[in-house]
Amino acid sequence: MWRVSSTVPWGACAVARGEFYGYYLGWAGPARRAYAAGLALELPSGYSRADCVVVCGMGGSGAAGDYLAALSAAYGGLPVYVVKSAEPPRWVRGCLVYAVSFSGNTRETLNCASRAYRLGGYVVAVTTGGRLAAWARRVGVPVAVVEEAPAPRAGWPQLFYTLLGSLKAAGLIQVPGGHVEESIQLLGERERAEAEARELAEWLQGSRGSLVVLAPEPYYPVAVRTRSELAENAKLTADAAQVPEAGHNMLEAWARSGDTRILLLDPGEEPWSTLLHQAAGLARPASLHVARLRGGSMLSRMVWGTWLAGLASVRYALDAGLDPEPVKTIKAFRRVVEETTGWDALD
Ligand code: F6R
């Protein structure tokens, strides 16, 4: 199991560059353990009355919520609303609220958790520890303690599968167990993932122009996550867009600019594949790369795309001589948030 010496705010330890990549490569282990832990998480009996789900979380932690919202919409389950700021919705009373913060010290998430609690939400803390865990224990709400990782974003399997397991155990999402198992097994296909990540990293190095990650609407969270992984690990700017929506606005600008390069996240299912390729053709990109989302279910394809994005963004950084792990500008912003807002620190 991964251990770090400090969690304030996270990753105060230095991680060897190769180890960071190796951690992503080994996602199958944390994914399996997190799913089991999520299934086993005991929620107070009153929580079963929940009729909506709210996920509070920022960056790598909030991403888990985007996936659950898309999966619940596609498979069935309670509506999932994702908060990427400090305030839960006014109607949070009666919702199951996952306050997700890898470090447990993100001010926006701490504030969201305490406000949701006071407004009558059924709060669950999902974290490695920090202030969030301490507060949750103090007020008596459940804490799902997740395994450490070299950075919050690298701990995506812990966060996502813990939430998925917990929602499944409570009967609040209808993703079949077989789909979950297949998605975790897919994370064992290291050679294929590495080869495809290398190809993607090489394309990113070798092509020029403003980068757009384009996915069909149900897979949009994977495009957004890819954008974040490229930003944090590869220090690379990208936009994330979805079909059909982008075909009703962005396409006009891409077609005119002539310097757009498109990364297509293709799930290999219709009508999405045809729509994606047609949209990409109309955009007349300077360069196009197709990343196939592998797997036999929507869940597996999302997990595969997420894994690929992580591996490729780290590989890109390593090949460019960059250290993918430090995010000093993000840390500076976190200090700005702490100094300029009155958001609850839960001390
Ligand atoms: C850093 C990372 C960030 C954090 C975000 C919130 O690796 O992924 O996007 O996830 O700053 O921090 P946590 O997850 O600790 O609440």
Express each pLDDT in 279-317 by its tens digit. Answer: 999 999 999 999 999 999 999 999 999 999 999 999 999
Give the pairing of strands 143-145 and 53-56. Answer: unpaired
Asked if omega into 9 is within 30° of 0 (cis), the reply is yes
Q: Which residue has the tokens 């969201």?
A: 112
CATH 3.40.50.10490 at 189-319, yes or no: yes
Residue 54: helix, strand or coil by DSSP?
strand
Probe ligand 1: pick from 111, 126, 153, 343, max atoms within 8 Å of CB? 153
Express each pLDDT in 190-246 by its tens digit. Answer: 999 999 999 999 999 999 999 999 999 999 999 999 999 999 999 999 999 999 999
- Residue spans per domain, the chain: 4-175, 189-319
Angle at the Cα of 307 from the Cα atoms of 303 and 313, rounded to 5 degrees = 145
Q: For residue 281, how far is the Cα from the chain centroid?
A: 29
pLDDT confidence bin for 10, thresholds 50/70/90: low
Residue 4 has pLDDT above 50, yes or no: no
Express each pLDDT in 47-85 by its tens digit. Answer: 999 999 999 999 999 999 999 999 999 999 999 999 999
Q: If one looks up domain 4-175 in CATH, what number appears?
A: 3.40.50.10490
Please check whether the two domains, 4-175 and 189-319, share a CATH topology.
yes
Position 15 scores a pLDDT of 73
Position 17 scores a pLDDT of 75
Counting from 1 in the atom list of ligand 1, the atom nearest the Cα of 58 is 6
C-beta of 10 in contact with ligand 1 (< 6 A): yes
Probe ligand 1: pick from 7, 8, 10, max atoms within 8 Å of CB? 10
